[in-house]
Each structure stands twice: as structure tokens, then as C-alpha cells.
Amino acid sequence: MTRLLRFLWVPVFFSALCAHAEPYLAVQMGLKCGQCHVNPTGGGERTAFGNIFAQTQLAATRLDTGSDVWTGQVMKFLSIGGDVRFDATYSQVPHASSTDDFEVQQGRVYASANVIPERFYVYVDEQVAPGGALNREAYGVYWSANHDWYIKAGQMYLPFGFRLQDQSAFVQQISGINMTTPDQGLEFGFEHGNWDAQVAASNGTAGGPETDHGKQYSAQLQYVMSRWRFGVAGNFNDASAGSKSASGLFAGLRTGPISWLGEVDVVDDRSTPTLSGRQLATLLEANWRIAQGHNLKLTDEYLDPNRSVANDAETRYSLVYEMTPIQYVQIRAGFRWSDGIPQDPAEHLKTGFVELHGFF
């Protein structure tokens, strides 16, 4: 082991481990998302801390690279990162032919220029696959001297509940806030001790052009302990056609090798006559760390698309095994099955997939 790597391992071992891309890892390690991600609200480029964690704690086996240790930094003031997910998927919907296909599900590159070290950086998240390039995030962040608050301006993902890897989860679907729907605006963040909070004002068009004077306001408050965390989130989108409001509670708990995530979101959308009632979505996820580099994820989701209509609920269950055999390479295999009203075949989707996930 080189001197450099020993130096980099120190904070990992002596801070009771740390978080990575998925919130269950943050819960498992009892740290905030910004510990391992450049973005204080999580997702995207990993910090040097996150990169060392990926090499030493996430992988079952670390291939020795000698003195060459990837930390994301390619120049003095510039660091990069990326994610590529390649899927083989089998899907079955009643009354339709099953499909199976290979697909580059996602290819993203991240870059951040630390223009004023520790105080100001410019960040870009570019989706490069599938299809043509598409900018997801582009913003600047100014940190206070002691890193207890920051201001972010540009195009960004909004803070609202857990930032899950599965963008099609019900809780992400009904709120409309996920990593495919960035918005343009401002975010103020506060981090002090166990507290973590964000307030944001944005156009409220989810990447589309602004069409009115109304704005979208998001707020989130979270208390993070080493074994548990609890948060509340709210969102209000003042659109010309009517408002949409969302509120959520989310919590994490570590019990031995199991990390639990729970989230409950309620949405009241008055911006379209089609939706006349409140929507409710819940998520319960158990992540069992069988051994280093091996995780079994079980997820239970519930969606009531209209609280004032009976018999219309949908459920979705997922069983996913995640193996990280070596650093920066992950293999995920899983099965998802949905259940809903018999009249709608799309609510009875069954999907099996194997995913190769490369990241850095």
C-alpha cells in the first residue's frame, strides 16, 4: 500500500465510513449526502472522499493500482466523474408480447471547476447517452467560509425527499421531482451539526420554457444521526393554470446490517382538471448488506393516484441484488412486479433486468 493511499484511507476508517450515490449508503454510514458527492444534496460527481470509499468500502475486492489512486481530480482545480449503466431488460405486460432488449440506460459525465478552492465552484452534469447530449445540471455554488451555508444558482435538481437511483419510483413520479426534471433557479442551503436544510425558488417548468410569472418553491429539513435520520420536505408550484403542492416525510434507520428507507409523499395538483384529488405515494426499502460488496435490496411501493376514488391503488415490489466485485464496477440484477387495476395492463408490468454499472 502506498503512502498516498494510506493517507486517503484514514478519513474513511476514522469517520465510521461514508456515503455513496444511493441514499441507503448514506443511511448505512450515518453521513450526509454531501460527504461523498460534490452536490450537497447528493447525486452526480463524487468527492475525493466518495471515490476513496468506492475503492475501499463499497467493492468486495480492491484491485491494487499501486500509487495511481483515482480521486476524481484531473488537474489542480478541475475534477470529473461519470456513470454508465448498461441494461439487459425483460418486460412482460398482459395481453402483449414480451420484450427483451439491451440498452444504454444512462451515460453521464460530471465536471466541476473549483475556481476558488473550498469557496466557489462551477458544476456541470451532462447526460451523453442514450441519444444526444442533454444538460441536466449547470450551476455555480458559493460556500461560506466555515461551510455552514451555501448559495447555488443555475439549473439543478430540486431538494425533495430521498434522491433515489430509481427515477421511476412512485414517490419520485407523483412529486415530479427527480433526476430527470431539473429546474432553473436558486437554492440556499444550511448545514450545521446534525441539521441539513435547503430552500429553493425555481421556474417550476421542469426543464421546459417558463410560461408564466408563478414560481416553484421547495424546502427540505433533515436531521441526521449516525443510526437514523428524519426529514420533512415541501414543494409549491404556483403555475398559471393552477397550483401543485407536495409534502413529504422521509426517514432512514440502520439496524445491524439492514438499512431502512421510508418516504411518504402527498401531492395536491390543481393545475389540471384531470386530477381532481390528492395523490399518495409511499416507499419502504430494506437494504441488507450481506457482506462487503454485496447488497440485497427489497422495495415496497404504494400509489393511490386519487384519494377520492376507491379501488384505484397501485403497488410495485422490487428485489434487486447488487454486487460490486471490484472498485467502480457494479452488477445489479433484479425483478420488479407491479399490480394495479385489472383494466389497465400497464399496471401489471413485470420486469427483470441485469445491469452493468460503471462509475468513477
Partner 1 sequence: MSPRGFPFVAGSLALALSACAGNGMGLDANGNPITAGGGSTGPLTADFKSIQDNVFTPICTKCHIGAGAPEGLQLDQTHSYAMLVGVPSAEQPNVLRVAAGDPDSSYIVLKLQGSAGISGARMPFGGPYLPQSTIDVIRQWISAGAANSTSATNAATAKAAQRFTVTASSPDPDSIATTVPNIVVAFSSDVDPNLLNATMVSLEKLDASNMDSTEPMPMSPMPMSPVPAGAASRSVAITLAVPHGDGTALLITPRTLLSSGTYRLTIRGNFADMNAQALGADYVLKFTVEAP
Which one-letter DSSP state was computed for residue 58? I
What cell does 345 get?
Answer: 395492463
352 binds partner 1 (CB under 8 A): no
Q: Which of 288, 321, 328, 335 binds partner 1 (CB under 8 A)?
A: 288
The region of 57-65, 115-123, 128-136, 323-331 touching partner 1 under the rule CB under 8 A is 128-136
- Residues 6 or more apart whose Cβ sits within 8 Å of residue 17: 28, 29, 30, 31, 53, 57
Q: Which of 137, 187, 191, 347 binds partner 1 (CB under 8 A)?
A: 347
By the 8 A CB rule, do 108 and 85 touch? no
The region of 47-55, 75-83, 191-199, 274-282 touching partner 1 under the rule CB under 8 A is 274-282
Q: For cell 376514488, name the residue.
A: 309
* Shortest distance (Å) from residue 136 CB to partner 1: 9
Q: Which of 64, 132, 146, 213 binds partner 1 (CB under 8 A)?
A: 132
Q: List phi, psi (to 5°) of 51.
A: -70, -40
Which one-letter DSSP state was computed for residue 46? B
For partner 1, the binding residues in 224-263 under the rule CB under 8 A are 237-239, 241-244, 255-258, 260
Of residues 249 and 298, the one with the C-beta less far from partner 1: 298
The region of 8-16, 53-61, 113-121, 125-133 touching partner 1 under the rule CB under 8 A is 125-133
Euclidean distance between CA atoms 248 and 39, whole angstroms: 21
Q: Which residues pair with 36 in a beta bridge?
A: none
157: closest CA among 123, 131, 191, 133? 123
For partner 1, the binding residues in 147-186 under the rule CB under 8 A are 167-168, 173, 176-177, 180-181, 183
137 binds partner 1 (CB under 8 A): no
